[in-house]
Each structure stands twice: as C-alpha cells, then as structure tokens.
Structure 1
Amino acid sequence: MKFTLSAVLLEAADLELESAFWHQLLGGTVTRTQTHHFLRIDGFPAFVIQLAPEHLPPQWPGGRSQQMHVDLAVDDLEAADRLAVSAGARRLSPVGDVAVSPATGSRVYASPAGHPFCLRAE
C-alpha cells in the first residue's frame, strides 16, 4: 500500500488574508470557493485554506497547541525572511535578530492566521 500526501489544510477565519499570504510567499495559483481556497504550487501538495469562522490562532510556544506546522527549505534564508515578513508573517524566533547564519540557520514565523512555519536554510 502506498500513501501520498495530497494536501495540507490550514484553518482561518479570513480566507482572503491567509490565502493571499501563502500565495505571496510561495507563488502558484489560487482557486476560490466560499469555504476553501486551493493553492497549487509546482512540487508541493495542495495548500488548502479552509474557512473556520471561530478559528483561534495557536499561541505557540507556551500557549494553545500549534496542532501542526510547515517547514520550508530555502536556498536564501535572508531573501526568504524578507519575503515572508513583507507578505505578512510575524517572526516568532528569533524575534529581532535576523543575523542567524544563512547557511545553517532557521527561523520560525506565524502566518496571518497564526499558523507556525519555519524557513530553514538548505
């Protein structure tokens, strides 16, 4: 039996804000329905933003569980950091220090809906 990851779903109270963030960060195309936005990116499973009007953002670390997070390998950590922040990400760690070694470092962010994700130098 073979399993293949077909999609990653993230909940958000604001479909437009969350899907616009991931689209700006990762590119691809967005298909919208009233309850879901489907982001198709070459080489990725589908990213699906699902409407959850009562969604409460994770308070990670040290609060409400993160439930899951996305790790993204990047070839230019500094450029990826600038793109993520300009797209609307909130840096969680390191908060103010962006001088982590670009060759070996990683940074943790939250999307506009509060979903944690990491950018890791590859």
Structure 2
Amino acid sequence: MRIMHQVVTFDAADVAAESRFWAGVLGGEVDEDGDWHMVLVDGAPRVGVQLAPGHVPPEWPVGPTQQQIHLDLWVEDFAEAHEHVMALGATVLKPAAGNTAGDDFQVYADPAGHPFCLCWLVQPS
C-alpha cells in the first residue's frame, strides 16, 4: 500500500472560517468543494475541513466534551507565531508554563474550538 498524502481533517460548523484559519496558519490556500475544503501548501494537501453542522467544540482541559485530537506546531519565534494565530482568530486556552529550560508550549483553540499548541525550545538566558 502506498499512501499518497496524509491529511488531518477537522469537523466544523463553519467550513469557510475553519479552512481560512488553517490556510493562514500554514501559509497555504483553500480549495473549496462544497461542504469539504482542503488546505493546500505548495500545492500539496495538508489539512481538510468538512461540514459538521452539529459540531460541538471540545471543552479542554475539563468538561463533558473532551478533545479528540490536536496539533503541536513547533515554531522558531513564539511571539511572532502567537501574534499570527491570534490575528487569524485563535483563542488562548492555556498560557505557557514559563519554563526556563527545555521545551514550552501554549494551548490555543482554532475558530471551531479545536485545540492546538504552539511549541518551542526555550533558549537559556
């Protein structure tokens, strides 16, 4: 078996908002096909978004609707990445721990409420 592409697909009540968000985060473009959108980066499929009218956002870290999946996005410049995702419509769910060594991360939600993390390596001062 040869897998041509690997694509994570998000359910969303607002397919356009969700696909625009991920296209903005990944530096791609949206290929719309009715209730299904594909985010393409350099012409390759990266993230799918499908219409789910009854989609209920996860309530992370506690709540009756737990997260099912999330993306960890490793970035070089956290401050720049934070401003970028916030301008695209992200919401902070859990601030960074403020680690002084090793890795750190901050948890966000995309417009449909799916959690994702911006992660980075902390540079010692």
User: TM-score, normalised to structure 1's length?
Assistant: 0.85
Q: Give RMSD over aligned pairs.
A: 2.5
Unaligned 5+ residue runs, structure 2?
Answer: none
Which of the two has higher C-alpha Rg? 2
User: Is 1:13 equivalent to 2:13 in the alignment?
Assistant: yes
Any residues of structure 2 matched to 1:53-72 within 5 Å, and which?
53-63=53-63, 64-72=65-73
Contact 1:37 1:49 in 2 (8 A): yes
Any residues of structure 2 matched to 1:41-120 within 5 Å, and which?
41-42=41-42, 46-63=46-63, 64-94=65-95, 104-120=103-119
Deviations along 1:8-43, one digit per CA (max 9) or x if unpaired, are: 00000001111111111111121001111100124x
Contact 1:8 1:45 in 2 (8 A): no
- SS of aligned partner of 1:78: helix
Dislocated runs of 4+, deviation >4 Å: 1-5, 97-101
Partner residue in 2 for 1:37:
37
Contact 1:15 1:37 in 2 (8 A): yes
The one-letter code matched in structure 1 to 2:6 is S
User: TM-score, normalised to structure 2's length?
Assistant: 0.83
Greater share of strand residues, 1 or 2?
2
Unaligned 5+ residue runs, structure 1?
Answer: none
Aligned length: 120
Deviation at 1:2, TM superposition (A): 6.8
